[in-house]
Chain A
Amino acid sequence: MSFLILFVSVLIVFAIGLLLGLIIASASHFLAVRKEARIEQIGEILPGANCGACGYAGCAAYAEAIILEGAPANKCTSLTAEGLAKIAEITGQETAAAGEPEKAFIACHALPFASEALSFEYNGLADCTSRALFYKGAKKCKYGCLGGGSCMDVCPVRAIYREKSGRVVIDRKKCISCRKCLSVCPMNIIQMIPESADYAVACSHPGKGVQTKQDCGVGCLGCSLCTKKSPDGGFFMDGFLAKIDYNKKGSRNEAVEKCPSHCIVSLK
């Protein structure tokens, strides 16, 4: 008797499952809504990371908007010129200029947990927002990377990783320019730098050299040596912080070598 019940139960559940499966399969066949094939084609070209940099709910929503609403194809920050051309081919629109792609860069290369650079010991929640809420972080420098890794958590392509030393670094080859890390960083030290850039100033401390030196020791001292050593390199001083104008393409090697705090780092 119990065997019969077992048999009946298996049979019934199997039959119901099969029946429902068949109904849904046939329904999806007969009730299929023809999506435009072009939407799917564009969806395949888009990166599929759903980062939201274009302002739409995700790559699928953006592909739909390109076809149905005529949205411009250059809103996706991670599309290459090649991808843009492919989309233009599908939509028949003029190729919108892609512009030089920009990649994220953390403008601080100090070790986040070096004990000599800390003003107190922090034992709270690990993410950067919590760290920053408490006296703008435990570091003496109030313009540096706190090392909590909040940017690592939001990066849709996991381009941000932690080196063995504890420093958080962005892999610019993987970066798709979605700018999510820029908005999550409580210290606002992540910048967008053109993809072709060879060097970048890895410091955001605006204070005078003495202050910067006291705070961390590897930051920009504001000595303006770089502007003198590589006059064509596009170096300029913003207060006591060196910055690079990437429109100038001159050599920057001399300045990099002579920088007393070695805070002009290679991006290649």
Chain B
Amino acid sequence: MNLIVIFFSFVLVNNFILSKFMGLCPFIGVSQNRESAVGMGFAVIFVMSISSLLTWAVYHAILAPLGIEFLKTIVFILVIASLVQLVELVIRKLSPALYKALGIYLPLITTNCAVLGIAIISVDENFGPLESFVAGMSGGIGFLMVLVIMSFLRQKLLLEKVPAPFRGVPIAFITAGAMALAFMAFNSSMISNLFPGV
């Protein structure tokens, strides 16, 4: 597996929000303004990168040798939740500025299914440590990208004459659906055209 392919695959082709429909809660919740969208996006990149690395280590060091791979979901949830807690503590101590920027969003990500999703996908695809890390990071980048695009769209939507029952979240979901359709243009054949021979 080539790292570039993994990168483009998770940013565009298998985008977490638009093609796997994971992490929809923060997607709808924080895409109302750009600042919080960017804050959330970076927090997700951060957590996804390190948690996919850590879950890889937990899976290959503990679960696989003991033959209890079926426990991966529950163990990953445990590991990710504690990791986020720990990271929050460390950031609060070491960098108050970063804590202020990410602070509110970090605990929210604990239960973001995209974070658990990337861990399980990495394991199912038999990724190595570096590949898992890149997968996590690119999944987060894809998340950030869609969140920022969506925040622009929602700012435009505020000025539109939307029928009253569709205002707010309903029209946001419809817009997201249209965006997901547009993202279907990014598929595996596009990647093999862009990177022939990979």
Contact with A along B25-59 (1 / 0, CB 8 A): 00000000000000000000000000000000010
Contact with A along B52-86 (1 / 0, CB 8 A): 00000010001100111001001100110010011
Q: Nearest Cβ in chain B — how far from A7, in angstroms? A: 11
Q: In whole angstroms, how far apart are the Cα atoms of A193 and B47 in the complex?
A: 50
A28 CB contacts on chain B under 8 angstroms: 89
Interface-located stretch among A8-16, A93-101, A113-121, A231-239: A8-16
Instruction: Determine if B68 and A31 form an interchain contact, defined as CB atoms under 8 angstroms apart.
Output: no
Contact with B along A1-42 (1 / 0, CB 8 A): 000010011001100110011011001100101000000000
Partner of A31, one of B62, B63, B78, B92: B92
Chain B binding site: helix, strand, loop or mixed by DSSP?
Answer: helix
Q: Nearest Cβ in chain B — how far from A19, in angstroms? A: 9
Q: Nearest Cβ in chain B — how far from A166, in angstroms? A: 26
Q: Nearest Cβ in chain B — how far from A134, in angstroms? A: 11
Q: In whole angstroms, how far apart are the Cα atoms of A24 and B164 in the complex?
A: 47
Instruction: Determine if B89 and A27 form an interchain contact, defined as CB atoms under 8 angstroms apart.
Output: yes
Q: Chain A: which residue is nearest B71 at the CB level?
A: A9
Q: Is A133 an interface residue (CB 8 A)?
A: yes
Q: Using known A-B contacts A13-B71, A16-B75, determine if residue A24 contacts B90 with beta carbons closer than 8 Å.
A: no
Q: Chain B: which residue is nearest A28 at the CB level?
A: B89
B164 CB contacts on chain A under 8 angstroms: 133
B75 CB contacts on chain A under 8 angstroms: 12-13, 16
Q: In whole angstroms, how far apart are the Cα atoms of A13 and B74 in the complex?
A: 8
Q: Nearest Cβ in chain B — how far from A24, in angstroms? A: 5
Instruction: Determine if A33 and B93 form an interchain contact, defined as CB atoms under 8 angstroms apart.
Output: yes
Q: Using known A-B contacts A17-B78, A27-B86, A27-B89, determine if residue A12 contacts B67 with beta carbons closer than 8 Å.
A: no
Q: In whole angstroms, how far apart are the Cα atoms of A21 and B85 in the complex?
A: 10
A17 CB contacts on chain B under 8 angstroms: 78
Q: In whole angstroms, how far apart are the Cα atoms of A21 and B92 in the complex?
A: 19
Q: Using known A-B contacts A5-B68, A23-B86, A27-B86, determine if residue A16 contacts B93 with beta carbons closer than 8 Å.
A: no
Q: Nearest Cβ in chain B — how far from A60, in angstroms? A: 13
Subset of 26 A-B contacts with CB under 8 Å: A5-B67, A9-B71, A12-B62, A12-B66, A12-B71, A12-B75, A13-B75, A13-B78, A16-B75, A16-B78, A17-B78, A20-B78, A20-B82, A24-B82, A24-B85, A24-B86, A24-B89, A27-B86, A27-B89, A27-B90, A28-B89, A31-B89, A31-B92, A31-B93, A33-B93, A133-B164
Taking Cβ atoms with an 8 Å cutoff, the residues of B that contact A are: 58, 62-63, 66-68, 71, 74-75, 78-79, 82, 85-86, 89-90, 92-93, 164
Beyond A13-B78, A33-B93, 10 additional pairs, beta carbon < 8 A: A9-B68, A12-B71, A12-B75, A16-B78, A20-B78, A23-B82, A28-B89, A31-B89, A31-B90, A133-B164
Taking Cβ atoms with an 8 Å cutoff, the residues of A that contact B are: 5, 8-9, 12-13, 16-17, 20-21, 23-24, 27-28, 31, 33, 133
